[in-house]
Amino acid sequence: MYRAPLRELRFVLEELLDSGVLAASPRLADYSDELARSVIEEAGRFAETVLEPLNRPGDTAGARWTPEGVQAPPGFRDAYQQFVAGGWPALGSPPEFGGQQVPLVVVTAVGEIWGSANLAFKLGPMLTHGAVHALELSGSPAQKQLFLPKMVSGEWTGTMVLTEPQAGSDLGQVRARAVPEGENYRLFGQKIFITWGDHDLTPNTIHMVLGRIDGAAPGVKGISLFIVPKWLVNPDGSLGARNDVRCLSIEHKLGIHASPTCVLAFGEKDGAVAYRIGEAGRGLEYMFIMMNSARLSVGSEGYAVGERAFQRAADWARTRVQGKPPVAQPRGPAPIIQHPDVKRMLLLMKSQTEASRALALYAAFQLDLAHFGAAEPARAEALARGELLIPIVKGWCTEIGNEVAGMGVQVHGGMGFIEETGAAQYVRDVRITTIYEGTTGIQSLDLIGRKLGRDRGAAMGALLRDMERDLKALQVTDPAVETTRAAALAAVERMAAATQSLLQSLATRPDVGMAVAVPYMRLCGYVIGGWLLAKSAAIAAAKAGGTDREFYAAKVRTATFYAAQVLPNATALAQVVAGGGSSVTETDATLI
């Protein structure tokens, strides 16, 4: 049974980040720690009682394609109706269209809960939220009034329609044609890998589609963004005729079986009616509004599945009796959680999940400070930091989620390889998170190219200085916390040196720098996670004698383990960044 980690989330929101300071913004005057608590508690109840019970049956039944349209697994339609009735689609959406304005950090915390309980279900609302955000920032007033109220309420869903069979991740190869027709367009083409691209949960789906207007320039500069509703919408908001868009098939996937991944055909007859968003040729720019939102959300999905895998593995280890550990125990076999290596695996799962959670929520908090902060210089600095962290959240947290889920199978032993125990589903489901919205390699290139390269490391340098200052300023009396602090500080120094080395490579031999992009991204994840866990340990140690003493003691021990058995990865990765690139660039591809 899934248990939403409410106390962990409260710790990060209230004690580590102090997100209550956001209430100083006039636009968040109603926000408080109490409000955030009530939101995540209600989300936890819904996840535990409605979504999690559908996770295994949804995986077994899967979504089903029919000529009339895609059918979600049994129970999903009713769950979605309850989701809408609870007002969850409105969370974090624009209030002028019926949304509830809360900080992104709270939306991210709630998203973790949905992802842990039922990742396949969570993907649909996630993409709708991204489509709402893109339309809010880039759509015309008429488009917003026509589409946003029902998308914000959840009555309609939204999608992100990018790639095509020949394009993959290279969106410059998009061929979908948009033929002008009066003020609008007719769209022709085929798209693949469209998550929740067709379903029976709602009466309408609003597709956000990349296409190329006839005569547009080749490459990314010729791509525009279009609204293509499944059903045309009348001026009064009622549904009109069926648009010329059809689901040809759904993919047979490794995991997330309950989430339909669709092949969509636009314009098999007269062309799908399409409405251009914003200016022609700026489609990729507008789509990146959705993509950056999705990348943060997908990063949280990595550790969300990891959290669920950890809970199942820990429950198993507490009740599975096998062998006698080499410590004083009652006679006879003991629960396997007493065996040192099982404890090690569980601590690896727990500590890396907590580090990932802290990193993702810290990134979301920076974006909140950028959006709601009072002073312009501080807002600009927070925006630069939040954007810098997005590829690390997406890349590192999803890689960690895969590692944690795989370790959950290992804790179960042979029983973990059997589907009935449930551990294997997490491995299959989380695997996609390192791929969609840009693979780990793409995230790493974004980090060193767009983010590190655009300001020659200024934003990263500011983060490194803040981490160093924070760690040096910690008031520490507990010896274990002091050891953790010292390890985190040493790791920050290694990351700073590796950053300078990488900047030199990018300036002289960009290919050498690109060859260590993933190791550098992983280095950043481990070190930033270590910084945040060291701060967490110091906070927890100061409160260890009061209420929640077991919770705070566990925070200290988890950080101690991370410093001893996880953070040393930074040493090896820093060495790779400094000198490992040429081993790639000097190897001829024919020799691989």
Residues 6+ apart with CB under 8 A from 443: 295, 391, 392, 394, 395, 521
Q: How many CA atoms lie within 13 A of 35 on its CB side?
A: 17
Residues 6+ apart with CB under 8 A from 291: 130, 160, 437, 438
How far apart, in whole angstroms, are the C-alpha atoms of residue 376 and residue 310? Answer: 41
The answer to whether residue 468 is catalytic is no
How far apart, in whole angstroms, are the C-alpha atoms of residue 8 and residue 566? Answer: 20
| Helix count and strand count (H, E) for the chain | 19, 12
The pLDDT value given to residue 259: 98
Alpha carbon separation from 202 to 61, 79, 85, 239, 564 (Å, rounded): 20, 12, 13, 12, 50
Q: Give the DSSP letter of residue 50.
A: I
How far apart, in whole angstroms, are the C-alpha atoms of residue 256 and residue 273? Answer: 31
- If DSSP codes are grouped into helix, strand and coil, which group holds residue 418? coil
Low-confidence ranges of the chain (pLDDT < 50): none
Alpha carbon separation from 176 to 153, 194, 207 (Å, rounded): 30, 15, 14
- Whether the CA torsion 405, 406, 411, 413 is positive or negative: it is positive
Q: Which of 52, 112, 354, 437 is catalytic?
A: 437
How far apart, in whole angstroms, are the C-alpha atoms of residue 301 and residue 403? Answer: 13
Tell me the two tokens of residue 238: 């009622």
Alpha carbon separation from 398 to 299, 351, 352, 402, 486 (Å, rounded): 6, 15, 11, 6, 27
Name the one residue in this structure whose structure tokens are 């569980």. Answer: 346
The pLDDT value given to residue 426: 98
* Alpha helices (H) in 510-568, listed in sequence order: 510-514, 517-542, 549-561
The pLDDT value given to residue 329: 64
Query: Beta partners for 181?
Result: 184
- Rounded to an integer, what is the distance from CA 308 to the centroid of its chain? 15
Tell me the two tokens of residue 40: 């995540």
Residues 6+ apart with CB under 8 A from 335: 317, 318, 319, 320, 321
pLDDT in tens, 438-466: 999 999 999 999 999 889 999 999 999 99
